[in-house]
Every structure is written in C-alpha cells, then in structure tokens.
A and B are shown apart, each in its own frame.
Chain A
Amino acid sequence: MADKIATRQAYGEALIELVEKNDKVVVLDADLANATQTCKVAKAHPEKFYNCGIAEANMVDIAAGMSTMGLIPYCSSFAMFAAGRAYEQIRNSIAYPHFNVKICATHAGVSVGEDGGSHQCIEDIALMRVIPGMTVICPADANEAKAATMAIAEMNGPVYMRLARLATPVFEGDMVKPFEIGKANVLREGKDVAIFATGLMVNESLMAAEALASDGIDAAVINIHTIKPIDAACVTEWAEKCGKVITVEEHSVIGGLGDAVADVLMGKVNCKFHKIGVNDRFGQSGKAADVLREYGLTADQIAETVKVNI
C-alpha cells in the first residue's frame, strides 16, 4: 500500500528546499501556517517567512508589492479565503499587472471534511481560471505537489495552485510522471472512454478505471494537473481516440475542469461528454471519506457514473 501524504504537506516540505535554493522566494501566510504547512519554512527559515495575520486581502497585496521588489512571494491560506476572500486583490493587484506571485491555497474541495461547507471551496478553479494570464495548477499527489512548487518558481507570472488537506496515496511505479506546467500526463491508456481528472480525483479515477476494466470497459485516465493553460492537444487527442469523455474534479461542475475541457472540445470534437463534480450545491461537515461519498466522488461511484454515461 502506498504512503499517504497530503499535497499541502508536500508543498510545505518543498518550500524548505525552494527557499534554500532560490533566495528570491519568500513565504507569506495569514495565520494558518500550521494548516497550510508553511510553518515548515517559518520553523526552518524564519527570515523567509512573513505572517500577515488574519487579513488575506492585505496579505495578497503585500505579496504584490514584494514581487515588484524582485522577490517571488508564495502566499498561502485556505482556498476559500485566498481565491474567495482575496479574489479581487488577486485579480486587480496581481494578475492585471501580471506580477510574479504564487497563490498556493490549501483545503480546497469537499475533502476538507469536518470544517463543513463554509470552508470547502468548490469554486476556486472557476474563479482563478477566468482571470486573464493566470496559471492554474492542481497537483494529484505529493510528488506532483512538490514538483509543481519548484516549477512555478521558474516561470514568471501569477500562479494559483490548489492543494488538499486530506492525506492521499502517493503514486508509484508507472504512475510517476515528469511534471511540466501545461503538459497533461496520460496515466492509463484506453479506448472506450477518456477520463480527464485533476487533483485528488486522479487517484479515484485510476481506481475507477480498474473497476471498469473488470467490467470490460477500457478507460484512459489523463491527469490534467494544469487546468490553465490546458493541454488542448492532449485533450483533443484522447477525446477523438475514445469518442467518450468524462471529467472528474472535486469542485463545482460549473466553471472548473469540466468546463475547461468542454471549452477545448466544443465545436471541434464530436463525442459524448459528462462532468463529474459537485453538482451546484455547497459542501457539509463529515469525515472526508463520507463527504466525498455524499457527493459521488469515490472510485466506485465514479465507475458507476461512467457506465451510465457512456
């Protein structure tokens, strides 16, 4: 059984390495450092860490200002308060002037669990994706989160990275792929249906594909870790190959990965299409596994939904 590590934890660990390697990187948080795991930098390299208190809008704009001094600020809070509370600051003060700030938001999606709907951001991909020039990344496992944390420092411009609270399996063997921003990874080839997934739903989709295989359905699983800019060539290729497309995300079905994939295919590829995600409702409290099941986001439920829709 694979180790289970949360993408937020991998982010925190990668940050230590990153600040040691790149002296332009500074890390900001808004009193959630233990949860977002930026506490790892605060402890190892306190001179690289700035707590901004419970004031996310201010934090995001401080990051904007620091970036104009040539620094590369990594800014963390929960997805709800980064993409949500500080939306307009990200839009106007970072993205509009195309500043080099990395918004790394944890506790995205319903897998937050017990904290409930107020803290389960299911709109952040949509909010960030509509901003011109914004790069949107959602790593599928700890290794990818680490690779992405390092990679976004090397590109100039604003990035939103979506991370999870829940510890999930770390990919092993053939599932481990190189990470390149904007380049989707085909984790499983198949001919009957192309499943495009992001974040924690990649692993669930891989398990769903196993279940489908035993029912004689040959599903491809593609990890769309970069939702913007999306790998349109890969999406098109696999949609054409399979003729049937399913998208899976721990996010609203409105405005997220599903719509990003649909935008690529619409009017170009003739295929069946179905989006799996949170169906226009808020999250709620519960154990993460129970909440994911309530919203139809577990492997067996995904497999069932695929069968019904192809």
Chain B
Amino acid sequence: MTTQELSPICRQVRRDIITMTANAGSGHPGGSLSAVELMTSVFFNHMRVDPQNPHDPNRDRFVLSKGHAAPCYYAVLAAKGFISRDEYANFRQLHSILQGHPDAKKVPGVDASTGSLGQGVSIAVGMALGAKHLGKDTKVFALVGDGESQEGQIWEAYMAAAHYKLDNLTVIIDNNGLQIDGTNDQVMSLGDLPAKLRAFGFDLVELPDGNDLDAVEAALSKPTMPGKPKAILAHTVKGKGVSFMENQVGWHGKAPNAEQREQALKELED
C-alpha cells in the first residue's frame, strides 16, 4: 500500500483509539497514538498475515511488548479485518476479548500476551529463534517502549538476538520520550540509546520522525543485514494527532471525557 493509502487508515486508527479509551473510561491513549504509523505500516506492508486464517503456521509474527498500547493494536487488527469494530464497545469490559492488555488466548492476530513490561522482546526472540530452528522464513516484529527499556530483561533479549544472529527479527523502539512518572530523563535516563543498540549488536536504523509514514516505510523497507537483528529507533510524539494530548505526560494512562473525545475526533476528521 502507498503511504497515501495508509494515511486515512492511520487517521481511522487514531479515531478508534480515542473511541475505545473514551468508551472504557480508562486505557492508554498517549502511547497508543505515538505508535500508529509504526504498527499500521508493519501490519499493512511488511507482514505476511491472513485475517481469515489468523493461526496460519506460516504467518509472520508481531509482539506488542509495550502492551498498554493495546487500543492501537486492536484498531490496527480491526482495520486489517482480524476483529470487528463492534468489539470496541467491550474494550476493558467483563467477558470481552479486548482486555486492557493484549490476551493471546482471546484475540485473533495476537500471538503473545503482553502488558507486563520488558518481556515482549524475549518472546519475539523465541519466535525468531523458533523460526530459524524450523527452517521457516518467518519475520518477527517487536514494538518496544522507551520507558520499558529500563527493564533489564530487554537487554538480555537484545544480547540473545545478536548471539543467535536473528536477522529475521526487527525491534522497533517507540521513543516518545515520556513515561507515567515523567520524561525518560527525569525517571531513569536511557543514555545514548543508538550507541547502546549498536553495542548490543543491532543493525540500527535511526528514524527521526516515527510518525511520518514515508520515513517509517523507508526504515521498515531497508534490507536487513545478514546475521544481524535490526532495530529501528523511532522518535515519536506521545499523543500524536490530538493537540491537547501531544507530548503530555498526563495522557499516558488517562481516558478522554465526553468533551475531550468530541474535540479529539474533530481534530482527527478526514
């Protein structure tokens, strides 16, 4: 799909994030909105998946390590046809398939249960290693938060990805700079992330604007280096697309009220 075609899908995904979180009265709009272009591009242009056959053994895999961005995930899955938009009304409600954080048992298209931070890359490493073991050409994508990168296990997983030469793995870091308690730098500085990712053995692609579809497409399309896992360090804007949410720490885990929902949806009109 061209980026012109992806653009309205991204806008719809953003509207769906607002709708879901507003309906539920809870959820994580900020980190969902920052990841829209990254996740939409991956699912529409870079993964071999079939919504009619979500358990196809030859499908590519995606792990949302920052599981709190579930509204974005669900909206992309709905746009792809894995789930129905009718499910949105049940997001975070009793007996729903749309749990607060993704549940692999319940949602077609979700291959790992995530939300407890720091674990998704390891799971993706296991998928990529399993694909190699089986001689499959499966590609594996993991979307990781920057705040989440404070978890030591993330770096254990990176070490393993390089050790096992997982060139079928792409780790995308949604670097919006904010986490619940403040900026990354206030809470726990991540330091020189590009240098660290390179030192851990990644073929690193720096993406100065992870909310620019053309740039995202270019980064994802860049061929992988044989024998090396690929990392895309995507600088994004938390709350992207909704003026009053952009770069605001307070919108990490807070739902819009009725009035804010109206305003946000207005800003996100086609």
Most buried by B among A67, A73, A89, A97: A97
Range class of the B interface residue count: 20 to 34
* Cα-based distance from A60 to B57 in the complex (angstroms): 22
With A69-B138, A96-B113 as contacts: A61 and B159 at CB distance below 8 Å:
no
CB distance from B237 to the nearest CB of A (A): 29
Beta-carbon contact of B130 and A92 below 8 Å: no
Question: Within 8 Å CB of A69, what residues of B?
Answer: 126-127, 130-131, 133-134, 136, 138
A sample of 16 cross-chain residue pairs with beta-carbon separation below 8 angstroms, ordered by A number, consists of A57-B153, A58-B153, A58-B159, A61-B126, A62-B126, A64-B112, A65-B127, A65-B128, A65-B130, A66-B126, A71-B130, A71-B133, A73-B126, A96-B113, A97-B103, A98-B105
Question: Within 8 Å CB of A187, what residues of B?
Answer: none
Beta-carbon contact of A71 and B134 below 8 Å: yes
Question: Within 8 Å CB of A57, what residues of B?
Answer: 119, 122, 153, 156
Using a CB–CB cutoff of 8 Å, the interface residues on chain B facing chain A are 57, 61, 63, 103-105, 111-116, 119, 122-131, 133-134, 136, 138, 153, 156-157, 159-160, 163-164
Beta-carbon contact of A64 and B123 below 8 Å: yes
Contact of A68 among B111, B114, B115, B163 (CB under 8 A): B111
Contact of B153 among A61, A64, A70 (CB under 8 A): A61
Contact of A97 among B61, B104, B124, B153 (CB under 8 A): B104
Beta-carbon contact of B160 and A68 below 8 Å: no
Question: Within 8 Å CB of B126, what residues of A?
Answer: 61-69, 73
Beta-carbon contact of B112 and A65 below 8 Å: yes
Beta-carbon contact of A62 and B133 below 8 Å: no
Contact of A66 among B111, B129, B136 (CB under 8 A): B129
Check if A52 is an interface residue, CB within 8 A of chain B.
Answer: yes
Most buried by A among B63, B111, B113, B136: B113
Beta-carbon contact of B127 and A58 below 8 Å: no
CB distance from A85 to the nearest CB of B (A): 11
Check if A50 is an interface residue, CB within 8 A of chain B.
Answer: yes
* Cα-based distance from A235 to B159 in the complex (angstroms): 47
For window 45-60 of A, CB contacts with B under 8 Å fall at 50, 52-53, 55, 57-58, 60
CB distance from A142 to the nearest CB of B (A): 29
Beta-carbon contact of A92 and B113 below 8 Å: yes
CB distance from A186 to the nearest CB of B (A): 37
Check if A88 is an interface residue, CB within 8 A of chain B.
Answer: yes
Give the 9 A-B residue pairs with the shortest CB-CB distance, closest first. Answer: A65-B126, A61-B122, A69-B130, A58-B156, A62-B126, A66-B130, A55-B156, A65-B123, A97-B104
Closest residue of chain B to A63, judged by CB?
B126
A contacts with B, residue count (CB < 8 A): 27
Beta-carbon contact of A62 and B113 below 8 Å: no
* Cα-based distance from A186 to B202 in the complex (angstroms): 56
* Cα-based distance from A55 to B151 in the complex (angstroms): 13
Check if A168 is an interface residue, CB within 8 A of chain B.
Answer: no
Beta-carbon contact of A92 and B133 below 8 Å: no
New contact pairs (19) apart from A61-B125, A97-B103, A98-B105, CB-CB < 8 Å: A55-B153, A55-B159, A57-B119, A57-B156, A58-B160, A62-B126, A62-B157, A65-B112, A66-B126, A66-B127, A66-B133, A67-B126, A68-B123, A69-B126, A70-B130, A89-B119, A92-B119, A96-B105, A97-B112
* Cα-based distance from A71 to B115 in the complex (angstroms): 24
Question: Within 8 Å CB of A71, what residues of B?
Answer: 130, 133-134
Question: Within 8 Å CB of B129, what residues of A?
Answer: 50, 62, 65-66
Contact of A93 among B61, B123, B163 (CB under 8 A): B123
Beta-carbon contact of B116 and A65 below 8 Å: no
Closest residue of chain A to B134, judged by CB?
A69
Beta-carbon contact of A58 and B111 below 8 Å: no
Question: Within 8 Å CB of B134, what residues of A?
Answer: 69-71
* Cα-based distance from A222 to B103 in the complex (angstroms): 39
CB distance from A77 to the nearest CB of B (A): 14
* Cα-based distance from A69 to B123 in the complex (angstroms): 11
* Cα-based distance from A68 to B133 in the complex (angstroms): 13
Beta-carbon contact of A65 and B124 below 8 Å: yes
CB distance from B229 to the nearest CB of A (A): 14
Beta-carbon contact of A26 and B133 below 8 Å: yes
Beta-carbon contact of A62 and B61 below 8 Å: no
* Cα-based distance from A89 to B123 in the complex (angstroms): 10
For window 22-52 of A, CB contacts with B under 8 Å fall at 26, 50, 52
CB distance from A1 to the nearest CB of B (A): 43
Question: Within 8 Å CB of B61, what residues of A?
Answer: 68
* Cα-based distance from A68 to B123 in the complex (angstroms): 9
Beta-carbon contact of A65 and B113 below 8 Å: no
* Cα-based distance from A26 to B132 in the complex (angstroms): 12
CB distance from A257 to the nearest CB of B (A): 29
Closest residue of chain A to B61, judged by CB?
A68
CB distance from A302 to the nearest CB of B (A): 41
* Cα-based distance from A70 to B130 in the complex (angstroms): 8
Beta-carbon contact of B133 and A58 below 8 Å: no
Closest residue of chain B to A101, judged by CB?
B126
With A64-B123, A68-B130, A96-B103 as contacts: A55 and B112 at CB distance below 8 Å:
no
CB distance from A45 to the nearest CB of B (A): 12
